[in-house]
Amino acid sequence: MLLFQLKIFKQQKIWVVMAIENLKKWRNWVDYPGNPLIKPQKPEWLIADPTFLPSTESPDGKWHLFAHGILFGIKHFISSNGIKWIYTISKNIRSGIRPFLYKENNTYYLFYENISNPLKSTICYRQSLDLFTWSKPQTILTPSLSWEGKFSQNTSNPCIIKLNGKYRLYYSGGTVFLRDCLFPEPKYIGFAESRQIQGPYRKNQNPIIIPTKTHKFRNFGAGAMKVLKINDIWIGFNNGIYKDQYGRSRSSIFLLYSHNGIHWLDLFKHPIIFPTIGWKKSFVYQLDVRKVGQNYWLYYNARYG
């Protein structure tokens, strides 16, 4: 038994070294010089949490992006090149925020957080064949565990990965309140699994990513995560919530890796995208990342105050 355990440990150690070596290319990300691409239109004062499909994945050969505002819910944008975006006049999903697009065969699923009342949010989905006409919402995840909140209960920031005939739903649960910004952000990240994309989803009982005081870029909240699986390696893009050296609330996009999508390690010591100046002076937030040709495109939102 001891020999078997030692052998497995050696294999894991070799795998970790190989994984880091193969993933060094993920260190360097270059901001598009024309950023920001989409700005909020009055009376909205923010546009946040983008999710997108490149032209090769859409039914009409165009790029599609969904992001939420505060006043009018989830908005739909279209582009011919992924750079210049036009807001469509399709019906907004009024109570939805933090969307995530998932395609299976010729059906598109839009998962999002639905705020049913000021103290509770659930995860819903709608489906479509054309990205314009959507079915009625169906709830697939509701807060039920202690770490998902007590007074205020939240499940949010969905991300779906299909693995061996199962759908794994990564999501955020619970909140922390940023006093210097006067709004909440997610505290934990967990997951649930189902044999059917429509559910029912069985939750993992404990969160898989938690804030810790010793982590410079995740010392206040776990934030959210988008996940890619490339061959045998899982890559997690995590926007942790933290307090900087001056006690100010901040967020950066940090890269994680895993051998099973459950136990995660930091890939690098520093974030790949972080606050700088101007429009991204204080927060670099939620994101979506997908392969486009030979490259990976990552859309995110940011704040300057």
Range of the domain at 223: 2-303
C-alpha distances out from residue 218 to 209, 250, 269, Å:
10, 9, 12
* CATH number, domain containing residue 74: 2.115.10.20
pLDDT value at residue 7: 35
Q: What is the pLDDT of residue 197?
A: 97
Radius of gyration of the chain measured on its C-alpha atoms = 19
d(CA 257, CA 276): 25
Q: How many domains does the chain have?
A: 1
Residue 28 pLDDT: 87
Q: Can you tell me the distance from the alpha carbon of 28 to that of 23, in angstroms, rounded to the nearest whole number?
A: 11
Q: Which residues contact 158 (CB under 8 A, 6 or more apart)?
A: 98, 100, 111, 112, 113, 123, 141, 169, 170, 171
Nearest to 241 by CA among 305, 177, 296: 177
Identify the residue whose tokens are 């807060």: 143
Q: Which residues contact residue 42 at a Cβ distance below 8 angstroms, ignoring those fewer than 6 apart?
A: none
Q: What is the predicted pLDDT for the residue at 25?
A: 81
| Interatomic CA distance for residues 26 and 132, integer angstroms | 34
The token duo for 65 is 């992006």
CB 112 within 8 A of CB 100: yes
Question: How do strand 183-194 and strand 202-203 relate by DSSP bridges?
Answer: antiparallel
Mean pLDDT, consecutive 10-residue stretches, the chain (305 aa), reads 36 49 81 93 89 97 94 91 90 86 97 89 96 95 96 95 95 95 94 97 98 97 96 94 96 95 95 94 94 94 90
Contact criterion met (CB below 8 Å) for 265 and 245: no
